[in-house]
């Protein structure tokens, strides 16, 4: 901080304005009213107020478990929008003589500009830490859905990776979608005009596919079939099949295809 007269070093701070979308941080909570909050500086007896880098007071300790340092800003809910940070010239609290001739030291606390002509900022960073995993700062694993069942009655499926998952109590993850300033919860199907969580659609699809026994058919035919073709077999009256894949032998002009019964 440069340009001011160095007076008593007491209670120096930096006014800051932080907004995300239409929400402003006021030092303890988020509000829709434009406001500032004060970031305290670490001032000691040996601190030089001119041409000296001064740190902000560290509000983190080992109990937070987040592995960060500096001024702590709580974000208890989802915020979406443009992030804007404004840093103002440093200021200080001071005690002035009250009107009416009161003795010095018995006055009122007021805000007063620190008088610097400019200030130099070093090492400014905005970092985040997840309270859902306080012992790990870097979380590179998505939400996992698991269920324990009797393995003698099942054939386990391969792991399914969702591109989109719904709002739940597991916190943010790579597959969650921010929609209308909130987390997307349900998807609407134009086929049956229903709205369900993406995970529910997947479970319903699997249950509908395997809740009744179906015939799996393998045939060697000419490669005239399309991936979405509906197939019938003259020897299996009343049954229809969906082509699910296969291999083509172009030299012999034949396709060995797998088909699953449609119910």
Torsion of CA 149, 152, 155, 158, to 10 degrees: 50
pLDDT digits (tens, 9 = 90+) for 58-112: 888 766 667 788 899 988 888 888 999 999 888 776 555 444 444 444 444 444 4
CB 34 within 8 A of CB 24: yes
Distance CA 60, CA 71 (A): 8
Mean predicted lDDT score pLDDT of the chain: 76
* Distance of alpha carbon 107 from alpha carbon 218, whole angstroms: 93
Q: How far lies 248's CA from each of 94, 224, 252, 254, 258, in Å?
A: 85, 10, 9, 6, 12
Over residues 118-130, the pLDDT tens digits come to 778 888 888 887 6
Tell me the C-alpha distance between 13 and 27, whole Å: 13
The two beta strands, 108-113 and 216-221, are unpaired
pTM: 0.48
What are the C-alpha distances in Å from 101 to residues 8, 45, 91, 93, 97?
22, 31, 26, 20, 7
């Amino acid at each position: 901080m440069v340009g001011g007269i160095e007076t008593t070093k007491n209670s120096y701070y930096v006014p800051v304005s932080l907004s995300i979308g239409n929400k402003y941080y006021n030092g303890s909570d988020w509000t829709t009213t434009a406001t500032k909050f004060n970031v305290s500086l670490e001032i000691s007896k040996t601190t030089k107020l001119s041409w000296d880098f001064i740190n902000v007071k560290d509000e983190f300790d080992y109990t937070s478990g987040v592995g960060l340092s500096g001024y702590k800003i709580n974000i208890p809910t989802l915020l979406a929008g443009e992030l804007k940070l404004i840093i103002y010239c440093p200021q200080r609290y001071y005690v002035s003589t009250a009107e009416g001739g009161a003795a010095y030291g018995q006055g009122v606390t007021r805000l007063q500009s620190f008088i610097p002509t400019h200030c130099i900022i070093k090492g400014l960073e905005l970092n985040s830490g997840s309270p859902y995993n306080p012992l790990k700062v870097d979380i590179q694993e998505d939400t996992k859905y698991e269920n324990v069942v009797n393995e003698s009655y099942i054939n386990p499926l391969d792991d399914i990776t969702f591109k989109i998952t719904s709002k739940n109590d597991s916190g943010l993850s790579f597959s969650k979608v921010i929609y209308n300033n909130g987390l997307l919860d349900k998807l609407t199907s134009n086929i049956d005009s229903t709205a369900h969580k993406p995970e529910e659609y997947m479970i319903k699809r699997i249950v509908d596919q395997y809740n009744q026994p179906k015939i799996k058919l393998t045939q060697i035919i000419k490669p005239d079939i399309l991936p979405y073709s509906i197939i019938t077999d003259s020897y299996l009256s009343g049954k229809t099949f969906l082509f699910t894949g296969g291999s083509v032998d172009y030299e012999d002009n034949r396709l060995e295809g797998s088909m699953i019964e449609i119910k």
